[in-house]
Structure 1
Amino acid sequence: MRLTLRRRRYKYETEKAYTGWVIRFLQLFPGRSLEELGEVEVRTFLNDLVANESGGVAASTLGQAKSALLFLFKETLGRELNFIEHSQATKPKKLPVVLTIDEVKRVRKHVTGTRRLMFDLMYGSGLRHKECRRLRIKDLQIDEGTILVRNGKGEKDRVTVLPGRVRQEVIEQIEVCRVRHLQDLEMGEGEVFLPDALKRKYPAESRKFRWQWLFPSPRTRMDPRSGRYWRHHVSEDFLSKSFAKALEASGVLKNAVPHTLRHSFATHLLEGGSDIRTVQELMGHADVSTTMIYLHVMNRPGLSVKSPLDQLEATDDDEQ
């Protein structure tokens, strides 16, 4: 199954998630071979997830589990499954959490160093958390004032704005990376992961500075797929833990996470009068309807709705 996933160019995160669900599925039926398992057992497993004592899994989680098992049976084993009687779970439509400009300032004040630069790029460029961590030196087009986002959601590339306010900080971060890379090369390291078959086609590219991460990990580690030791980008916890502490210290009570900065980027652009099609391009949305959700959470200029209760109280005061 891992080989099939890799041959189909699935991302490593998907590989981990899918194989994890298959392991959980097989653990529910110990001692039974795959030939004995089928539609009934898949339904049992999915029903068990829904009827879990802790309240069941989210709709997206249930959908992922189902997709993993379908991939196992249909794509890996070549078996056609009959109707599983588990239609796609309805995912509730929720408005994204968005911070006001003042709240962004309050949270940002408690984030420092490299994490502050990541914070600024996510809020100032609309990057996803993963996209920010995966920025490479060559993706920063400083003279043009743009960022080339590679392999975003849906394996799509896009161009977004590089905030002028962080231009000098980005240049300084690049120089920090340059010094570290030279040290790695002197130690016989300095190799970095290359996408797809680039490593095979261009063996020397993996040691070139332009391919290095803008936010490299403080230490080298083994890549789980290739077995090579190299310096990867920082982990998800690098910013998320600091963000949670900054949120608490700021006194902002919204249920915000680093991805909230991307939502805030889009909302504040629309509030500032940016064209929705432009925002769609910067966000990398395939459909403008996805971008339009931010119209429902923005503070629209000129919109002044007065509660009838406030009007009632005003009338009572007049009568008194």
Structure 2
Amino acid sequence: MGEQEIVDFLNHLATKRNVSASTQNQALSALLFLHQQFLDRKLGRLDATLRASKPARVPVVLTRAEVRALLAHVRPPYRLMAELLYGSGLRLLECLRLRVKDIDFGYSRIVVRSGKGEKDRVTMLPGRLRQALKEHLAHAKAVHERDVQSGFGSVHLPDALQRKYPNAHRAWMWQYVFPAAKRSIDPISSRVQRHHVSEKLL
């Protein structure tokens, strides 16, 4: 089977058999593997191959009533997290990794650090969540202050920041918005810290 026969076969799959793009790609990969590994023959260009099209999928969007019904079954503080995911367009880890300083009540915005592609971005802070978020932060700050009084109150910082600001790991502004219920030992620094809520709990 030469290049033209392979092209004809792949085109047959796409036009006559109406296979999916993944099935056609799997067939191509199998043929390439056969020729290169067993027949010791390198195939030429297969530019004439007609690619099977991927079907366009319409995204599933919940209605407002469905969203309210869903959120009604989420208990605090996870409900506030879910509302931020929905209202601010945050990804799960972006929400969990928020620091206090990333919440800008003055401009009603949230700064996302090192998001997808390690890029920073700014998203909106929904007005209806402002008060709930302020109350949540007041509770989180009280927990942090108790930690500090007990000789703890530390949080993980990126290495560069830790070197530049050696005392910042205890500052309130660097604490996680959604701190874990219990302190834990950082495996890198061996320091007792309070990490953010685990994504496994959501």
TM-score, with length taken from structure 2: 0.69
Matched, 1:155 2:118: yes
Partners of 1:156 and 1:229 in 2: CA distance: 29
Shift of residue 198 of structure 1?
0.9
Which structure 2 residue ranges, 5 or more long, are not aligned? 1-21, 23-53
Match of 1:185 in 2: 148
Correspondence for 1:122 among 85, 109, 112: 85
Superposed, which structure 2 residues align to 1:1-320 within 5 Å? 96-239=59-202
Equivalent residues, number: 150
Partners of 1:136 and 1:167 in 2: CA distance: 16
Higher helix share: 1
Partners of 1:129 and 1:230 in 2: CA distance: 21
Q: Secondary structure at the match of 2:197?
A: coil
> Which amino acid in 1 is paired with 2:123?
T
Q: Secondary structure at the match of 2:136?
A: helix
Shift of residue 100 of structure 1?
2.4
Percent of aligned pairs with the same amino acid:
51
Which structure 1 residue ranges, 5 or more long, are not aligned? 1-58, 60-90, 240-320
Shift of residue 177 of structure 1?
1.1
Change (3 A) 1:193 1:169: same
Partners of 2:94 and 2:55 in 1: CA distance: 26
Alignment root-mean-square deviation, CA: 1.9
Partners of 2:177 and 2:134 in 1: CA distance: 10
Q: Secondary structure at the match of 1:159?
A: strand
Match of 1:314 in 2: none
Partners of 1:92 and 1:193 in 2: CA distance: 44
TM-score, with length taken from structure 1: 0.44
Partners of 1:229 and 1:94 in 2: CA distance: 47
Larger Rg, first or second structure (1 or 2): 2
Shift of residue 98 of structure 1?
3.1
Partners of 1:221 and 1:109 in 2: CA distance: 31
Partners of 1:220 and 1:94 in 2: CA distance: 44
Q: Secondary structure at the match of 1:148?
A: strand
Partners of 1:121 and 1:207 in 2: CA distance: 26
Superposed CA offset, 1:200-239 (max 9, x none):
1211111000000110000111223333220000001222
Partners of 2:193 and 2:56 in 1: CA distance: 41
Shift of residue 94 of structure 1?
5.8
Partners of 2:111 and 2:70 in 1: CA distance: 27
Change (3 A) 1:95 1:223: farther
